[in-house]
Structure 1
Amino acid sequence: MSLNLKGCGMIPCKLEIGSSYEIQTTLEANFQSDSLVQSADIYLSDHNVYIPLLITPENLCWTLPCPVKTSKYVKLNGNFTIPENAFKVSAKM
């Protein structure tokens, strides 16, 4: 899988399950045909942390693991929805 992320937006760190967040960006992703879910580590230079994201090729939505351990706003690229199982994934701090 290759990701080319462009653009940037601001979202509050407190994200709610089932809520959708749209941020202006360009997302280019190539998925393996036999893979249902791909993961990618997104580097947040403002906070010097990596956040793993789950990407489903069916809708190209991002699954953001919660909670993000920072009191500041987090810059993130992409359009994504927080699903019911988002809390099953841990962020690497």
Structure 2
Amino acid sequence: MGDSQQEKGKGNYNQWSVEESNLLLRLLVEVVKNGWRDANGIISKQTIEAKIVPMLNEKLGCQKTQNHVKNRVKTLCQLFRNSSVFG
């Protein structure tokens, strides 16, 4: 049998280290400070691909994609939303 991730139909699973998560958060803050968001406040796919992904990959030597970043941001938002510390 194959890997359990592949059996579930998931591909290209990429675990985030603490260092990668911290850098992502710093880059997201920089994006907001520089005003690189849509009129409605959303960080666009193009901004993620052009600004965030290249910096992550360059600084950390990883191979993150726009989808990796999008999913990590979604996970971080869920953590913040469900944490009584931030509530």
Q: Which bin holds the TM-score, normalised by the shorter protein?
A: under 0.3
Q: Which protein, 1 or 2, shows the higher relative CO under an 8 Å CA cutoff with sep ≥ 6?
A: 1
User: Normalized per residue, which structure has more helix?
Assistant: 2
Scaled by the length of structure 2, what TM-score is found?
0.26
Q: Using structure 1 for the length normalisation, give the TM-score.
A: 0.25
